[in-house]
Amino acid sequence: MQGFIGATDENESTTLGREGSDYTAAVFANMLDAENVTIWKDVESVMNADPKQFTDAIPIAELNYKETVEMAYYGAQVIHPKFHLSLVK
């Protein structure tokens, strides 16, 4: 299913914007009580900088949930900034 299409309060079709499919995956994972979510991106992993802007960017080996949410809050574009809202029950 496509994950980036949504609706307004007036029931008009719209998109969820940047990383909307990732957000949808997190919402569905939460609703289905999934153990994990795998999101495929065009970079090898979450990195310490945008590899399109910094040629010396390196992968971050491991992040916990709080670190990932914080990165999204401060503008990291690897995951939707509302991702954390979908995992809160």
pLDDT digits (tens, 9 = 90+) for 32-42: 998 887 777 77
What does the alpha-carbon distance between residue 88 and residue 44 come to, in Å, rounded to a whole number?
A: 27
Q: How many domains is the chain partitioned into structurally?
A: 1
Q: Would you write out the chain's pLDDT as a tens digit for each of its 89 residues?
A: 566 677 788 988 887 776 677 778 878 888 899 888 777 777 677 888 888 899 998 998 888 777 877 887 787 776 666 655 544 44
For 65, the domain range is: 5-87
Distance CA 26, CA 20 (A): 10
**What are the residue ranges of helices labelled H in 1-89?**
20-31, 65-73, 83-87
Supply the CATH number for residue 75's domain.
3.40.1160.10
